A and B are shown apart, each in its own frame.
Chain A
Amino acid sequence: MTQTTAQPAHAPGTAPSGSAGKPKAFFSRYRPKVESLITCTTLAIIFLVWFEVTRRQVVPKIFIPSPHDVLMGFNETIFTGYHGKGLAYHCLVSLGRVLLGWVVACFLAVPLGLAMGLSSKVRAVFDYLIEFYRPLPPLAYYTLLVLWFGIGELSKVLLLFLAAIPPLTIGAVEGVREISPSVIQAARSLGANSRQVFYRIILPATTPAIITSMRISLGFTYTVLVAAEIVAATEGIGWMVWDASKFMRSDIIFVGIITMGATGIGLDACLRIAARRLLKWKYN
């Protein structure tokens, strides 16, 4: 036993490696049972409180509409339409704008982020530009976009596009940085050239980080939706909420917010399913 004293201390995480797979299996097996119950209960409580607060008229109707009012709001917007257009139409218009801005951003910002992660020179060009505009409130530079590109679709989609970019580049840069240099060294010594290292090592290794950043980016794009539809719009969910607020139609505001939240969750769920399909190695 005395000889083992010469041995360097093991990193705490590496010692018993046999049980490495267990915690994951534990979560995937038990999560749907207890945790979904907790989630459902939370939602039910919120709904009940909402129901009671409005039933007892604790707060004036104009601030918080009752669930019934909101249901009627849905009924109205779906079947009669809001300013002549149905809820589905407004929803599709907004989703179209969000997805167009976001998809274009993904195609440009992910390769840019990878390039930034791989080359300090590319990073030197773009890092501070992105860091500078990232914390700006979107409405601040939206005025400029409108000034330059007019009040049409282009300025709206551009705003959404710009909002989508920073999470994507940051995620891709971090993804590249997380790759252990010895993994790349191993691939190189097994005979891989730079092209093969990029397509077979860097790209698959960064995919989890990129998918996560795509999810964050999509959420971020959503947050500027109302801002993007304030100026000179006559359709879209964001515009509907903004317009309804001018007429104190809190029921319509609720309809808009619930629709945006639900579609946001739906889109995120699609991305998560895609991630699970694409990253079998990570979710196994």
Chain B
Amino acid sequence: MADAMRMENVCVSFGNKQILDNISLTIEEGSFSCICGPSGCGKTTIMSILAGYIMPDSGSCTFMGRPVTGPSPDRLAVFQENTLFQWMTLWENTLFGPKIQGKDMKAAAKKARELIALTGLEGFEGKYPGQLSGGMQRRAELIRALINDPRILLMDEPFRGLDAMTRAMMQEYFLRVFESTGITMLLITSELDEAVFMSDTVYLLSTMPATIKKRMPVAIERPRLLEHQASQEFANIQTEAFAIMESEALKAFEHIPSTRT
């Protein structure tokens, strides 16, 4: 398969603080990739570069072979922060992209209905974001992006702040969308089990400045179901990833002086 996005030797510093150190990664077209690392390690910076919000200091970032020069509806981002337009209903939010891009609204409305059905949001079309639960808001953000047929969907910790049950449900909804649309997806998360459960490839990051510790393929069959989380295969990958991440997690505490005397 062709590469949808490719990052080569990307370095980024803010002031004199280095955030990213020589990051190289490829995202295959039609795959589900995941960037997983300890919190505050620079994951969001990677996503901002892929989305085109910031430019790397050195190295290159390409989309379908062409350099990324700015944001584009081809590479849509779903943030950890709620960015739904509070003054628009779910329906209006969903159709925002097609409307301002002057697309065929009849086709867009048909697609909106399909996506709303796929994510279990029927009956809430006329509700404002403030009237939706946290999980519904995340799904609304997902379909607001998906309706534009992006070539790749970038998701920055989209399940952060949700309780465990809702999070598990959201993982299933997002997987269902991925498996039925075949759209290229990149997920950023600090949860290892979530990363392994959802993706084809997991990139494990070190603490800041972020480097890629390991690229782990996850060869578990799709559609992925919750039962897979109990399989031996899943456990093996997770154990391996956990061992790598644990050493990184411990590093985060090294600079803190011991309180025991």
A interface residues, Cβ below 8 angstroms from B:
3, 6-8, 10-11, 14-18, 20-21, 180, 182-183, 185-192, 196, 200-201, 204-205, 207, 279-282, 284
Contact = CB atoms under 8 A, between A and B. Distances in A.
Interface string B163-196: 1001000000000000000000000001111000
Given A10-B160, A190-B97, A190-B144, A205 B76 contact: no
Contact of B131 (A16, A180, A200, A284): A284
Contacts, number: 102
Contacts of A188: 71
Given A189-B71, A191-B73, A20 B128 contact: no
B85 A183 contact: yes
Contacts of B148: 190-191
B135 interface: yes
A8 B87 contact: no
A204 B92 CA distance: 14
B247 interface: no
B73 to A, nearest CB: 5
Contacts of A6: 38, 190-192, 245, 249
Contacts of B76: 189-190
A185 B83 CA distance: 9
A3 B164 CA distance: 12
A16 B163 CA distance: 7
Closest 7 CB pairs of A and B: A17-B134, A14-B161, A186-B83, A190-B97, A189-B71, A281-B128, A204-B87
Interface of B: 38-39, 51, 53, 71-73, 75-77, 79, 81, 83, 85-89, 96-97, 100-101, 128-131, 133-135, 137, 144-145, 148, 160-163, 166, 190-193, 242, 245, 249
Secondary structure at chain A's binding surface: helix, strand, loop or mixed?
A: helix
Contacts of A8: 39, 160, 190
B123 to A, nearest CB: 15
Given A3-B193, A11-B161, A185-B53, A18 B134 contact: yes
Nearest to A18: B133
Contacts of B71: 185, 188-189
Contacts of B163: 15-16
Given A8-B190, A190-B148, A182 B73 contact: no
A160 B76 CA distance: 49
A265 B99 CA distance: 41
A20 B100 contact: no
Contact of B134 (A14, A196, A207, A284): A14
Given A185-B53, A187-B85, A281-B128, A7 B190 contact: yes
